[in-house]
Structure 1
Amino acid sequence: MPISTTAPAPVTAALLPALPQIRDPRKVAPRDARALSSVFFERLRVLEEGTHEHRYARNTLIETNLSLVHFAARRFRSRGSGEMEEIVQVGTVGLIKAIDRFDLSREVEFTSFAIPYIVGEIKRFFRDSTWAVHVPRRLQELRVTLARTKEDLAGRLDRDPTVPELARHLGLGEDVIIDGLVASNGYTAGSLDATVGGERNSASIVTHGDIEGDVDPAIEKVENLQTLAPLLADLNERDRSIVALRFGQEMTQSEIGLRLGLSQMHVSRLLAHLLDRLRTGMLTQN
């Protein structure tokens, strides 16, 4: 008896039974959603993208499985109820990605496949958009690595690890570790209106804004002194002595001349030259 070599006809949407019409997919119980999802995924595989049937099957899968998004979002409820709606929206993006990439032939439950996508999308949202200060992506990712490493090493050492220890453990330079630790400070920011101890309805309310330092009027002097220090270090011993006697001990030009064996006129010319040199150096550095 001859053996037929004709390939079986491919399964098309026309050969499959009509999809069930679900009035409100959001009200489908999670247990029923699992069985329905298999039916819709089977049909989605053969439907032509862009057709009405394809859109119906895809949208029904999204709405039927929204309970997975709410389930995954619950672990982030400590972030605050005000953000929960946004978290669900972001998680829904992860659900849609999972639906578009799911393949029944993998023999994996869609629930197990979708949850990592949903959680990953939510975590990416927090990583990228909830930093109080804009921080480069590499430092955002380094912050997570540092947090885990610090916790691990602290358990082994029974103390907080040092920067060199973190650097050796991660195989990174100490300057990179320092950058990561500094960048971690940009993850959260406290409100200046937040109260410091006590209750907000207390008779005397003290906020962080009340105790945070204001602009110090002498801060410019500190900056000038820091700029001046290396310029003074470059002077020879005699010139440094003249500056120290004039501005440190507040001696007159005549007194300085007597101390150094110079005339008052010579001291005056030296001071004028030194001040001009120092002023030019400070302007150049600033």
Structure 2
Amino acid sequence: MPASTAPQVPPQNERADQTTAERSPGGPRTGLATATRSTTTAQSRGADTRALTQVLFGRLKTLEPGTPEHGRVRAALIEANLPLVRYAAARFRSRNEPMEDVVQVGTIGLINAIDRFDPDRGVQFPTFAMPTVVGEIKRYFRDNVRTVHVPRRLHELWVQVNGATEDLTTANGRSPTTAEIAERLKIGEDEVLACIEAGRSYHATSLEAAQEGDGMPGLLDRLGYEDPALAGVEHRDLVRHLLVQLPEREQRILMLRYYSNLTQSQISQELGVSQMHVSRLLARSFARLRSANRIEA
């Protein structure tokens, strides 16, 4: 046989490598076959669920609501379509809310969709139910999860800002600036900042929690306190206003008595008057001050 027509036989070690790769559990053919089987299994399971749902709805339509049989068929519909709820709940995994709670809320939407679904309209049940399930989950986050309730328009715009932030981060390899987000959505930077602030309402921070990164104490430790000398500022201003209304000698007597802490006897010696006269002047000054006091009046 001519050399040009001789069959090309791979070397012995190359044939062994090919055989090993084909037989190996992690070989390329095995991995492709496994992925193909998984896809086929998922598609088959989805088709079985849709067929079962169609049969159950046909059965449910013939039953009287409130009867035991109606309740059993309705429960079977809920059980068969729970994977749809889990699929919808997975979209909200980044909200840091327990997934069990989200699934429960989505199940309420599924039940509402089952009660309203009409199989005679020719619409597939998953197509009809998905908006109801997602809407119920979004309503739960809007009304129960956020610490601060924000306007609906601001919340919807926050969803767009969040999506634009993810897209720009992927495209630029860094976190986008406020100006870049505003340009992407064709809105003002003030609106972007308001949306970011609204997004923080999903998470509340304890006043006692330490600040991350800067090592600062908690907000509770840095809050202002009531200064005990604050009332004294108001009182001093009031006394100053009232004292100027007294005669000069009476002002001096009050200063000597209550600021220099002199006794009436010492004041009488200082001014050269009797102690009794000092006492009368003090009493008269007090009467004038009380009558002019705008707080007591």
Calculate the TM-score normalised by the size of structure 2.
0.46
Larger gyration radius, structure 1 or structure 2: 2
- Per the normalisation by structure 1, the TM-score is 0.47
The structure whose RCO (Cα within 8 Å, separation 6+) is larger is 1
Q: Which has the higher helix share?
A: 2
